[in-house]
Amino acid sequence: VKYLGIHISKDPTERKNLNIWKTIAECQTKLNSWLLRDISVLGRVFLTKMESISRCIYPAYSLTIPNRAIKKINQINFDYIWRKKMHYIKRSEMTKEYKDGGLQAIDFEIMDGTLKINWLKSFFNNKSFWYHIPREIFKRFGGIDLLLKCDFNIKKLPIKLSQFHQQVLLYWKLLYNHNFTPHNTPIW
């Protein structure tokens, strides 16, 4: 069954194959068709955004993306940028802004984390019907407000969350730990 562009299936392997791996294969086919053309590095960075990243964003906003798939998307994009030859610049340098010497390439792992944090943001700001089920799930252990303020271990939560919600909470925890640690805050 396909609903709003996402294939729905009870089998998680089939769901990943139809929604994620099929999209990755389409991205690789599209980028390979552009490979023979003489395009500058900036043009190839732009094409990865248009032909690859844009296709992967929609499934990533509503499904969990396995780490293997994230690495494959990054590999396809950066191999295309360098025409399947040796990479002359580190990925971390390529993702920087132009003013910092980068090419504004997109690392899909960071993009996936951003999408999950944005889902959490819209979950708080939007009182839509679509968020009713997650609200009820999170109410079982005090609500999402309480959970996000606590230091939690996902494996020790009293309810088994879906992989998507686990990924959202892990990205939140990663963001919270790296930006709001009390060790970096002066006491007085």
* Angle subtended by helix axes 22-34 and 54-62, to nearest 10: 170
Considering the domain boundaries, does residue 14 fall inside one? yes
Question: Using one digit for the tens of pLDDT, what is the confidence trace for 13-37?
Answer: 999 999 999 999 999 999 999 998 9
* Angle subtended by helix axes 108-125 and 163-179, to nearest 10: 100
**Which domain does 79 fall in, by range?**
2-106
Question: Using one digit for the tens of pLDDT, what is the confidence trace for 153-181?
Answer: 888 888 888 889 889 988 888 887 766 55
How many domains is the chain built from?
2
pTM, entire model = 0.83
Considering the domain boundaries, does residue 47 fall inside one? yes
For residue 73, give every residue at least 6 positions away whose Cβ sits within 8 Å of its Cβ, in sequence order, or none: 24, 27, 52, 53, 56, 108
| Distance, CA of 168 to CA of 83 (rounded, Å) | 34
11 with 101, same domain: the answer is yes
Question: Using one digit for the tens of pLDDT, what is the confidence trace for 85-136?
Answer: 998 899 999 999 999 999 999 999 999 999 999 988 888 888 878 788 888 8
89 with 153, same domain: the answer is no
